Amino acid sequence: MTQATASTILDFIQLERIEQDIFRGESKDLGTPQVYGGQVLGQALEAARLTVQDRDVHSVHAYFLRRGDFTAPIVYQVDRSRDGGSFSARRVVAIQHGQPIFTLSASFQKPEQGLDYYEPKQLPDSPDVLAQKGLLPDDSTRSAIRLLASDFEAYAVAQDADNNSGTLRWWIKSRERLPDEIALHKTVLAYVSDFGLLQATLLPHAPATKARRELVKKMVMASIDHAIWFHRPLRIDEWLLYECRPISTSNARGCAHGSVYDAGGVLVASTFQEGLIRLDQDY
């Protein structure tokens, strides 16, 4: 088990190669009852990445099967499903205590030239701009992503006249400068991407932050499945805006869509998640 304050994000996603296509990762104690889902997601993607050369990940689809135990390591088994002329596919199974706890499918592509379009987005001021204006939020908003606080700078965009679109939004970047390898930045973004989506599904039921925090206390919440599409190169050590929008809640499940923009308003990634949002019977 690795304490949250004892390592950097690079130490955390580093895997030990046990044998060909089999890796082992350590867990990080973030003060939660189980392993943070983004940890398994990030490490599984890293395991897949280590079996691919000269191709970049462009899509990830994952299922959370069982709770992870942060007191024990997790073993990642990679299946090389396909290596074609342009694309490679990998399937990863995360195993703990002899049982699969998570599966991931990822597709990698050789860089190609092609059409390029995304819907332009007007973003709120980044923390750097706010600092220049003397309007940087106080420390209370920096705790928006408490699970990631030791490794990331994070600021919530206040839900006021500037954020009335029914979304939850955060500015986020890693505290440390990372190597230039874009694949590494994508892996770290995968780690971050599991946070915020399920909270967004509660937004229609509790628009105010205080009310939503109270509702969360009454809920049993867990990720069920998760998808990421990487559209363009990105740097997680520079400010990214993560915008999470609720899509549907029903049958004790919630769906939300996420969009990730760089500080220039360029769409660099999209996410989608369904999760359990069950009212706790104790309430």
Q: Is the pTM of this model over 0.85?
A: yes
Give 157's DSSP letter: P
Structure confidence at residue 283 (pLDDT) = 47
- Class assignment of domain 119-283? alpha beta
Known catalytic residue at 194: yes
Q: How far apart are the first and last CA of the chain?
A: 33
Alpha-carbon distance of 103 to 78, in angstroms, equals 10
Among residues 96, 223, 237, 262, the one annotated as catalytic is 223
Among residues 88, 193, 259, 273, the one annotated as catalytic is 273
Structure confidence at residue 208 (pLDDT) = 85
Give 180's DSSP letter: S
Q: Where in the chain is the domain with CATH 3.10.129.10?
A: 1-112, 119-283
Structure confidence at residue 163 (pLDDT) = 45
Structure confidence at residue 31 (pLDDT) = 66
Average pLDDT, 10 consecutive residues per value, the chain (283 residues) = 52 91 87 81 97 97 94 96 98 98 98 94 84 64 51 78 70 91 95 91 89 89 96 96 96 97 96 95 59
Structure confidence at residue 182 (pLDDT) = 94
Whether the CB-CB separation of 109 and 82 falls below 8 Å is answered with no
* Helix, strand, coil content of the chain in percent (nearest 5): 20, 40, 40
Give Dmax over CA atoms of the chain in angstroms.
55
Alpha-carbon distance of 102 to 54, in angstroms, equals 26
Structure confidence at residue 5 (pLDDT) = 39
Structure confidence at residue 282 (pLDDT) = 60
Among residues 39, 105, 194, 262, the one annotated as catalytic is 194
Annotate 42-59 with b (16+ C-beta within 10 A) or e (fewer). Answer: bbbbbbbbbbbeebbbbe
Structure confidence at residue 28 (pLDDT) = 73
Known catalytic residue at 273: yes
Give the CATH number of domain 1-112; options: 3.40.50.970, 3.30.2270.10, 3.10.129.10, 3.40.640.10. Answer: 3.10.129.10
Identify the residue whose tokens are 């990863």. 92
